[in-house]
Structure 1
Amino acid sequence: MNPPVAPGDPVGTPTCVRHPDRATGLRCTRCERPACPECLRDASVGYQCVDCVSEGRRTARRSRTFVGAEFSSRLVVTPVLIALNVLLFAVTAAQAGSVVSNERSPLFADFFLWPVGIYLGEWWRLVTSGFLHFGPAHLALNMIALYVLGRDLEPVFGKVRFLAVYLVSLLGGGVAVYLFGGVNTPVAGASGAVYGLMGAMLVAVLRLKLNPGSALGVIGLNLVLSFTLPGISLLGHLGGLVVGAAVTAGLVYAPPARRDVWQTGAVVGAFVLLVVMAFVRTGQLG
């Protein structure tokens, strides 16, 4: 089928397929349809029309990282987690009528990590405590750390894997406190999940055979602070660190064949193990 020609054009110059009123001597190098300059884009060879460019973007395979995720520089999970933590802090501060003493709010009382409450059947405290913070300084430190780590890890791990590491690490920190901490010790904060991301960073660096000095330095400094500063849950930090590193090892060292199955198994296996350990602890307390 011959391309349309401009009306009243004695030479029969073809017209742009998207703008029939525009005569053009140009063509798309991919589909060979006539197109005006406005509808053409630079290509590796010649020019392509906007339709071919859009189709090429849809069908092109996106590059995958060493974890098996599609690389995307756009952060989604990290800002959502930060927003959720900030929102809950604002709610507790409003309920308590104090930014500094927000732990006096009813919401805080119902959701912070209280081992006695967990023993009595309030299992949600193992997770919900990770979204509560004692005062603005505690919140700011954890959210800054979350952003710095998430900025590097989420694009590489992908949104689903990154969120899985975060949540399982958070649970790991809570279970560690429940297993080995005092039965009446109040604990809250995203530190367990943040330390899990530190462990994930270290494992990723080792997997890529990069110099682990910086990652080890950051982890070492934070552990020293955990040992020396009062009011910090060392057990929660260590639990998150160990679980985060272990789950990440299952992700980055999964065999390429059926990688998704192996990675899902690593995450689910860690979750089930933590739940079983919490049930065993409850039985021991009883």
Structure 2
Amino acid sequence: MSAASVGFHCPECVREGRASVRRPRSTGAVRRFAGRWGPATTTLVGLNVAAYLVTALLALPNNGGLIQNSASALFHDLSLIPVCATGELPLVVCPTGGAEPWRLLTSAFLHYGLFHLIMNMLALLVLGVDLERYLGWAKFVALYLVSALFGGAAVTLFAEPISETVGASGGVFGLLGAAVVVIRFNRGDLRPLISVLVLNLVISLLPGISLLGHLGGLVGGGLAAALLILARRQPTLQWVGIGALMVLPFAAVLA
């Protein structure tokens, strides 16, 4: 694993990929973009953008829109509000009046405004390009979801009960944690990535930014990456372990 100007590269993976991946016949922009960044990374970005556009459209009757998408009711129905996720203190803001644990995941695809969306999607693209190539698309998606769930669980368990949190940054920090594990396993130079990680953790201390979500995602991504690497010769164990990591956040908030 060697450092690169953006993310990191696994030389063996790059060589194998060039040898085994067939060139797409279509030269369309979408195919070229997905081929460069990876289908899973591209799909995750697309889902986040789609969620933003839907909430922005639904916000129009409430004087919201592309800039103020949080004015839509759907936004608040899917965002992470700890008391709604656990069901411990049902409030009028919780549609079902009971536990809504799915908010741990749905909130990871919502964003407050265009700047929030753009910054997270750029980070997802930068980190996703090499991690998806290294892990494969299915394990990459699984790791990302584990990270998002761990971030949501950390917020639910330790943040203010009626706070509201959204964003893909838990998943993005999980990719950072996974990158640290992968580079360390491949005996690469961690210093550039550690600098980026420390800088982002310092930024997480600013008001309005979810430090808990970032730390939870970082831990989840690191654990998932370690599991996938240590059990790399045992695919069944890998998926059983990933399944357990996905269940753990839900079990923690509903306990």
Same fold (TM over 0.5): yes
The corresponding residue for 1:27 is none
Letter matched to residue 84 of structure 1:
L
The answer to whether the 8 A contact 1:71-1:158 is kept is no
Report the 3-state secondary structure (helix = DSSP H, G, I; strand = E; otherwise coil) of the residue aligned with 1:99. coil
2:120 to 118, 121, 142: 142
How far did residue 214 of structure 1 move? 1.3
1:249 equivalent to 2:226? Answer yes
Alignment of 1:51-66 (within 5 A): none
2:245 to 258, 264, 270: 270
The answer to whether the 8 A contact 2:232-2:238 is kept is no
Letter matched to residue 80 of structure 2:
L
Letter matched to residue 129 of structure 1:
S
The answer to whether the 8 A contact 2:147-2:170 is kept is yes
The answer to whether the 8 A contact 2:147-2:216 is kept is yes
Letter matched to residue 105 of structure 1:
S
1:169 equivalent to 2:147? Answer yes
CA distance in 2, matches of 1:102, 1:255: 42
The corresponding residue for 2:189 is 211
2:80 to 104, 113, 129: 113
Q: Residues 71 and 107 (structure 1 numbering): CA distance in 2 closer, same or farther, change over 3 Å?
A: farther
How far did residue 177 of structure 1 move? 0.4
1:95 equivalent to 2:58? Answer yes
CA distance in 1, matches of 2:20, 2:105: 29
How far did residue 182 of structure 1 move? 0.7
How far did residue 138 of structure 1 move? 0.2
How far did residue 71 of structure 1 move? 7.5
1:159 equivalent to 2:126? Answer no
Tell which has more relative contact order, 1 or 2 (C-alpha 8 A, sep 6+).
2
Query: Structure 1 segments of 4 or more deviating over 4 A?
Result: 69-73
How far did residue 88 of structure 1 move? 1.0
The corresponding residue for 2:39 is 76
What is the root-mean-square deviation of aligned Cα atoms in Å?
A: 1.9
CA distance in 2, matches of 1:71, 1:183: 50
Letter matched to residue 77 of structure 2:
D
How far did residue 202 of structure 1 move? 0.4
2:172 to 174, 194, 209: 194
**Structure 1 residue runs without a partner (length 5+):** 1-63, 281-286
In percent, how many aligned pairs have the same letter? 43
TM-score, normalised by the number of residues in structure 1: 0.70
How far did residue 255 of structure 1 move? 5.6
Normalized per residue, which structure has more helix? 2
CA distance in 1, matches of 2:199, 2:230: 27
The answer to whether the 8 A contact 1:71-1:156 is kept is no
The answer to whether the 8 A contact 1:170-1:190 is kept is yes
CA deviation map 1:51-71 (0-9, x unaligned): xxxxxxxxxxxxx95xxx997
How far did residue 184 of structure 1 move? 0.3
1:104 to 67, 71, 79: 71
CA distance in 2, matches of 1:105, 1:276: 30
CA distance in 2, matches of 1:123, 1:77: 24
The corresponding residue for 1:29 is none
CA deviation map 1:69-88 (0-9, x unaligned): 99769310111111111111
CA distance in 2, matches of 1:91, 1:272: 28
CA distance in 1, matches of 2:73, 2:230: 44
CA deviation map 1:30-56 (0-9, x unaligned): xxxxxxxxxxxxxxxxxxxxxxxxxxx
